[in-house]
């Protein structure tokens, strides 16, 4: 597997991530949003520099680089010390595709090795204090996510 480099134009310079403490899992909450559409949405509707996620996984499993190893804009209060991985889809209504899930496990494993993290450091956005949305979706069992990440690493 590989991470596909994008040519997104960001409105502000990047800052490097500090000591990464977590991987935070997100869904786009839109069934068919692409990384490029997400970038446009974050930039033009939210007024951000560009796509807020570090990595974005398309339905076909393509892993698109958003902010990469730089500070994201995906989880208020956690952006400097976390990797935000978003999978496109509304996981309140549908499950990730097999291709997305395979890519998510690979990317999570890669980031965990890169930053010396453990499965308990993989969090759903909704698990963060103060978050009131269902992200990464009601159908996503976060205990199962961590269990599958652990199995993948072994």
pLDDT (tens digit per residue) in 26-79: 999 998 999 999 999 999 999 999 999 999 999 999 999 999 999 999 999 999
**Cβ within 8 Å of residue 15, ≥6 positions away:** 70, 71, 80
Residue 153's pLDDT band (cuts 50, 70, 90): confident
CATH code, residues 13-153:
3.40.80.10
Report the first-to-last Cα separation within the chain, whole angstroms.
18
Percent of the chain with pLDDT over 90: 94
Q: What is the pTM for the complete model shown?
A: 0.95
Helix, coil or strand: residue 47: coil
pLDDT tens-digit map of 4-40: 999 899 999 999 998 999 999 999 999 899 999 999 9
Cα(106)–Cα(100) distance, integer angstroms? 10
Residue 81: burial class (beta carbons within 10 Å; 0-12, 13-18, 19+): middle
Cα(114)–Cα(112) distance, integer angstroms? 5
Q: Which tokens go with 37?
A: 């559409």
Residue found under tokens 């400097």: 80
Beta strands per DSSP E along 66-139? 82-87, 122-124
Q: Which tokens go with 48?
A: 């951000």
Q: Which tokens go with 74?
A: 């995906």
Instruction: Please state the domain extents for the chain.
Output: 13-153
């Amino acid at each position: 597997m590989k991470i596909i480099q994008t040519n997104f134009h960001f409105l502000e310079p990047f800052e490097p991530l500090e000591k990464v403490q977590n991987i935070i899992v997100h869904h786009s909450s839109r069934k068919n949003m692409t990384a490029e559409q997400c970038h446009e949405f974050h930039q033009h509707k939210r007024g951000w520099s560009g796509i807020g996620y570090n990595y974005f996984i398309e339905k076909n499993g393509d892993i698109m680089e958003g902010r990469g190893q730089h500070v994201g804009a995906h989880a208020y209060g956690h952006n400097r010390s976390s990797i935000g991985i978003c999978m496109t889809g509304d996981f309140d209504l549908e499950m990730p595709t097999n291709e997305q899930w395979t890519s998510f496990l690979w990317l999570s494993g890669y980031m965990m090795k890169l930053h010396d993290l453990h499965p308990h450091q993989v969090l759903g956005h909704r698990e963060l204090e103060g978050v009131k949305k269902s992200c990464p979706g009601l159908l996503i069992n976060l205990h199962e996510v961590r269990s599958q990440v652990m199995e993948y690493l072994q």
